[in-house]
């Protein structure tokens, strides 16, 4: 396993600063219960949170439980989510996972990684989000934003998403694990952006190991480095 390029004291400061800037980070996906959270995360694959929220606003008013989703049916689900990419396969997954939840889990979303990963459209990242957001488990879901931040800053370099997740599990301070996922994803979404990181306004600029930090008027990183970061 690779090692963090940051020293333990720097890692502690890294998260202290993110926490100070955003003490109570929240998911930007809109949901009302563990089931709607699960559906929203499944729908978010290759879609933005903004797009998912627009699609699910009316969907969740109609169907906010697995049984209600089954009553809505595949065609009804499609009508609500057709603005999202891959909406046909997503509708099938949402319908089938609802069926499994009713059949095998009493209509409840299980608080168990293995059981979650058996659901259609649910992988390790989605399971981690549900466990963290719905049930307060200190899991860290690594998406493209977190993968980029961890490699670019040197916090948790890795060639694969799983490698980054495993390293984060070992280096993130215990008292920061609960919110680490949200701090890192929001930092990647709004500050440590793929094409032009906002280094001048970054709270961990002096800790970060990125060698091509931008200035206020700097051009984006060179194409080769940008591709590697993404």
Q: Which residues are annotated as a binding site for [4Fe-4S] cluster?
A: 192, 199, 202, 208
Nearest-angstrom CA–CA distance, 135 and 129: 9
DSSP labels, 157-188? --SSHHHHHHHHHHHS-GGGHHHHHHHHHHHH
Considering the candidates 7, 104, 125, 198, report the single residue annotated as catalytic. 125
Distance from the Cα of residue 46 to its chain's centroid:
12
Nearest alpha-carbon partner for 141 in 182, 110, 194: 182
Residues 6+ apart with CB under 8 A from 19: 176, 179, 183
Known catalytic residue: 92? Answer: no
Catalytic-residue membership of 112: no
Contact status, residue 194 vs residue 227, Cβ threshold 8 Å: no
| Cα gap 50→100, rounded to integer Å | 28
- Active-site entry in 7, 54, 104, 143: 143
Q: Are 187 and 149 in contact (CB under 8 A)?
A: yes
Catalytic positions, written as ranges: 125, 143
């Amino acid at each position: 396993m690779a090692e963090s390029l940051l020293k333990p004291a720097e890692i502690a400061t890294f998260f202290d600063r993110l926490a100070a800037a955003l003490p109570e980070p929240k998911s930007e996906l809109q949901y009302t219960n563990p089931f709607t959270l699960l559906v929203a995360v499944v729908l978010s694959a290759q879609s933005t949170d903004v797009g998912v929220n627009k699609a699910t606003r009316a969907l969740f008013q109609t169907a906010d439980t697995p049984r209600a989703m089954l009553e809505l049916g595949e065609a009804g689900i499609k009508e609500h989510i057709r603005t999202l990419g891959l909406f046909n396969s997503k509708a099938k997954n949402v319908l089938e996972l609802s069926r499994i939840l009713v059949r095998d889990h009493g209509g409840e979303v299980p608080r168990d990684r293995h059981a979650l990963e058996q659901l259609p459209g649910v992988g390790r990242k989605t399971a981690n989000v549900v466990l963290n957001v719905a049930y307060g488990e200190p899991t860290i879901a690594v998406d493209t934003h977190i993968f980029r931040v961890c490699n670019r800053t040197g916090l948790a370099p890795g060639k694969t998403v799983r490698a980054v997740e495993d390293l984060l599990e070992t280096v993130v301070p215990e008292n920061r694990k609960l919110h680490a996922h949200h701090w890192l994803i929001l930092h990647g979404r709004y500050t440590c952006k793929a094409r032009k990181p906002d280094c001048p306004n970054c709270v961990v600029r002096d800790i970060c190991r990125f060698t091509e930090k931008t200035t206020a008027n700097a051009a984006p990183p060179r194409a080769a480095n940008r591709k590697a970061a993404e």
